[in-house]
Every structure is written in C-alpha cells, then in structure tokens.
Chain A
Amino acid sequence: MTYIINGIVQAFWMIVHGDRQVLQIVLLSLGVSGAATALSLLCGIPIGVALGLNKFPGRRFLVSLINTGMGAPPVVVGLVVLLFIWRNGPLGFFHILYTPTAMILAQFIIAMPLVSGFTMAGIQQLDPKLRLQIRALGASRLQMVWILLLEARLPLLAAVMAGFGAVISEVGASMMVGGNINGQTRVMTTAIVGEASKGSFDIAIALSIILMILVYLVNLLLTFIQQRSKNQ
C-alpha cells in the first residue's frame, strides 16, 4: 500500500516541479502523435470525402479496407513498419528505425483509416438534397466540397478525436519502431511499460496521470467546440 501512496506523491511532485525527464517524454509524445494526426488528416480527409461523395467500381472494397484499418492492432502495424524500415528492408536506406520519424510513420498508418472512415461517414450522413441545392445555387465542385465539409464539421472533429486518441494511447507500434530510447524515442506509453517493469512506479504513475489529463483536456476542448456549435 505504501508504494502506491509514495508513487502518487512522487508523481505529483514530478508534475508540479516539471521534472525534466517527464517533461521531455510528454513533449515528445505530443509532438509525435500531433504530427501523425495532422498527416492523417491531410491524407484521410480527402480519401474520406472521395469515398463519401463518389460511386465507382471497387468502392466497397476500399471501404472494407478502411474499416479493417480502423481496427488494425497497433503491434501489427508496428511489425510491418519495422520490417520495411530496418537496415535491409525496402525503406532501410532512410535510416529512420528507432527515430521519432518512424513512430510518426507508424502512428500515421494507425490514424489514417480512422480519419478516412469518420470523414466518409460524416459526409454520407448529410442530406443528399443538400448537394443538389448547393450545385443548383451555382457553386463549383470545389465550393460544394468545402460547404459539405463545414456542414460535417462535427463528424470531422470526431475524426480528429479518434485519430489522436488512438495514437497518443498506442504502445505496441511505438515500442517496436521507436525502441523506447531514453531522450530520443521514449513517449508516455512506452515509458509507462518500461518504468513499471523496472519497478519505478512513481514515474509510471506520474506519466499515467499526465496522459489521462492530456486525453481528457483534448476531449474537453473538442467537446466544448462540438457543443457550442450545436447550440448555435
């Protein structure tokens, strides 16, 4: 029992004093997962829009792939990325194994199907008559997509939430392609696993608390935006 209390006390001490090691880990987590989410938005929203608006042969197959990707286990993604980027892998010449770049790549692959899937669903649930109306008012195709995206902003927020939430709390892929290297690729989740297996529960608890607070803050912010726009 004492080590739980000690752990929590130590954890708050570390957070309040801005322990350098903890701070570095938190910043790297935010950087890696933030970059991965941003990339997945860049790539996933256009894919989601394309799949949501168009009918073409093979569309269902693509949608089924995206749906599978939404549930892909991070360790499997990690393993595939690892095999591609290690020294004699097809992308080995980039020398990105055990770097934050590799982690961004893996997390991007995890988040991208989530963002595409949520975007597609968001676009599809809009009233089809809206499209006709927009076109009837003389909007170009580009303007129409923009208006549809604005209309679907709540599902798009859900896409951001799902993407970021998935990668910030993901551990398998980050461990495999990042290696949990102190000061280089150690993010919150891998640090929690590593520190707990070393018996350093104070750092593990501190990071868990920070991770939970972060996930809560991100969701609070998004919920706030979501509810505000609903009330308008």
Chain B
Amino acid sequence: MKFPRALFINALIGITALMLAATGCTPAANPNTQPTFVTSTLENPQTPPSATTTVTPATTAVTTIPATTTPAVKELILSSTTSVRDSGLMDVLIPMFESETGYKVKPIYNGSGAAIALGQAGQADVLVVHSPAAELTFVAGGYGINRTFFAHNDYIVVGPSKDPAGIKGMTSTVAAFKKIAAAGSLFYSRGDASGTDTKEKSIWTTAAITQKGQSWYVEANTGMGDLLRIASEKGGYTLTDRSTYIAQKSTLSLDIMVENDFPTLINTYHVIQVNPGAFPGIKLNAEGGRAFVRFMVSPEAQRVIADFGVDKYGQPLFYADAGKSEAFYGTK
C-alpha cells in the first residue's frame, strides 16, 4: 500500500503544478491599464437595462482606438451566428479588431437562437446575430445593450433544378411556400431556432400553412452549410442566406428559385453587447464588448464588410449598413 500511495500523491502534485502553470498564462486583470476612449455615444455598460436602445446611431459612435492601449481584461467571448463564419467574414474582421485593440477574441459559433441563449446565460460578452425578433426580446429583457445594425444581405429560396413544385422565378416567397405545400414537395428546415429558421417559420405563418408535422417538411436541426448539403442530396427546397449559398454553390446541386422579394427576404445583422449589469456574480468584459460594437461600425470594418467576397465570388456577400436604420429596408 505504501508505494502506490506515494506515487499517487506525487502524481497529484505534478498535475496541480501543471494546472497552475497552464492557468497562470491567462491574462490577468490590471486595473491600472484601463483603455481610455476619446468619445463614445454608446450606452455605458453600467447603466441599468433599458429597452429603448434598439438602434444606436452608429456613425457618431465611431472612434479610433489607439493601438497602444492594453485592455484591462483581454479575453472577449463573441457569441456569433454561423453565417458570418461560414462565409469567412469573421476570419478577416477578428484579427483586425485584435491587432487594433489588443483584445483576444474567442468566437463561439452557433445558430442565432443558441448564440443569444449563450448571451442570456451571461457566458458571452458580445453577440453577432441575425434574428431581429429574438434580439428585441433579448434587449427588452435587459440582457443586451447597444444593439447596432451593421450589415445586411438577403435570403433566397433554393431547390433542385427540376423544380417539382414549379416555383422558379416567382416573385412572392409566401406564394412559393404555398405552392410547395400544395405540391407536397420536400422542404428542409434548419429547425434550430436560428435566424434563418425564425425567418422561415414566419413565412409559413404569413402563408397560413401548418407545415410542422407534414410528411414533406423535414427539420434537420443543423447549420446552414450542412442543411444546404442535405437539401442538395435529397433534392429538396430550403430557405438560405445568400452568402452561405454563394460560398458553397460549387459543391451543391441547388438553383435559386425565389429571390429579391423585399422586405420578406431581407436579412439584417446586428451586433449586441451583453449587458454587464444583468448578471450579478458574473464578470463580463464590459469595455471589450463595447469596443467590439464600436469596431463593427467603424469605417475600416465597414469597408471590409462591403468588399468581402467580391474578389472570390464576383459579388459582395454582405452590404455594409453602419448608421442606417433597419426601417430603410422596410423592416423593424
């Protein structure tokens, strides 16, 4: 008994030492190096939750952050929708933000529903999402502040080229959905409470069709990229954001069926700071969250967003919208 116990204790000491060494590398908070921002019209994170901050005029919020300041807390958790990753946009924007501000971003990608849920649990500092109704609920509940409109693109209905429901070229998405239901053609749904899923469900509601439970309606509970592949393999219709479709078009056998039906098919992206005051006991990175919101509407980021994908796909994947109101596109 003597020997194994000694070895066991040694092992425990060794592991503890390793753990301490590993955790010692995490950035320590240094109260003396608070970043100083010149001006800001963004809501102060310490103010109590308010539901009136749905759209912040972004152009005036833009400030240049000196690259030399070191943030007090470096780690910034970004809970984001998958579409900005799958298209590759975030891989460009995040390094820009990091080198400009010194923050270290940890992006976690889920559908907008799950992305907002992570914020609602106080496990993220800032969100990038595209599910307006869920966002407004989140902000109204006091969980989010500085909700800022920064970009849009659009949804399209895609389907197999043989088009069994005969919807190709229709101008009304609602009418097209009605036709798919009448024909009983296969339709694949995200089924994951993401922004796209929420949009799709709202179109079924407008069309006054109970799609759930129908034999032709399949909920896959998966990301957009995976769902496009499923729809492509199974020869079904689906609703997708245009950017994910363009980025993967070459590996899919899906054609565009319905497009440019506005405002139904508008897809708006917002950046929202998680309210640091809403989670007693959890320390959020308030400065970092605010800096990220400001960054997303800065001229540099907006230029990247507007140009993104043009060289690779011959068309932009996103349209930069800093300073605009969503009402500009006929939605709220």
- The chain A residues found within 8 Å of chain B, CB to CB, are 3, 35, 39, 42-43, 45-47, 49-50, 53-54, 86-88, 94-96, 98-101, 104-105, 141-142, 144-145, 179-182, 184, 197-199, 201
Contact = CB atoms under 8 A, between A and B. Distances in A.
A179 B110 CA distance: 10
B282 interface: yes
Contacts of B251: 3, 199, 201
Given A86-B123, A179-B108, A198-B85, 6 more contacts: A50-B4, A54-B1, A95-B23, A96-B23, A144-B3, A199-B225
25 contacts: A3-B250, A39-B18, A42-B14, A42-B15, A43-B8, A43-B11, A43-B12, A43-B15, A45-B7, A46-B4, A46-B8, A47-B8, A49-B4, A50-B5, A54-B1, A54-B4, A86-B123, A95-B75, A142-B2, A181-B106, A181-B108, A184-B106, A198-B86, A198-B225, A198-B248
A144 B2 CA distance: 12
Interface of B: 1-8, 11-12, 14-15, 18-19, 22-23, 26, 75, 77, 85-86, 91, 106-109, 122-123, 223, 225-226, 229, 247-248, 250-252, 279, 281-283
A39 B106 contact: no
Contacts of A95: 23, 26, 75
Contacts of B2: 141-142
Nearest to B73: A95
Contacts of A94: 23, 26
B282 A87 contact: yes
A61 to B, nearest CB: 18
A3 B247 CA distance: 15
Contacts of B109: 180
Contacts of A144: 3
A54 to B, nearest CB: 6
A42 B19 contact: no
Which 7 pairs of residues, A with B, have the shortest CB-CB distance? Answer: A199-B248, A101-B22, A50-B4, A42-B11, A46-B8, A142-B3, A46-B7
B122 A87 contact: yes
A50 B22 CA distance: 29
Contacts of A201: 251
Given A95-B23, A141-B2, A46 B107 contact: no
Nearest to A140: B3
Nearest to A42: B11
Nearest to B11: A42
Nearest to A100: B22
A197 B223 contact: yes
A98 B229 CA distance: 29
Contacts of B19: 101, 105
A214 to B, nearest CB: 23
B4 A182 contact: no
A192 to B, nearest CB: 13
Nearest to B94: A182
Nearest to A86: B123
Contacts of B14: 42
Contacts of A99: 22, 26
B247 A199 contact: yes
A53 B7 CA distance: 14
B23 A101 contact: yes
Contact of B226 (A35, A179, A197): A197
A55 to B, nearest CB: 11
B3 A197 contact: no
B3 A145 contact: yes
B99 to A, nearest CB: 13
A197 B109 CA distance: 12
Contact of A197 (B5, B8, B225, B252): B225
B282 A88 contact: yes
Contacts of A104: 22
Contact of B86 (A54, A88, A180, A197): A197
A21 to B, nearest CB: 10
Contacts of A39: 15, 18
Nearest to A142: B3
A134 to B, nearest CB: 13
Nearest to A179: B108
B8 A87 contact: no
A95 B75 CA distance: 9
Nearest to A201: B251
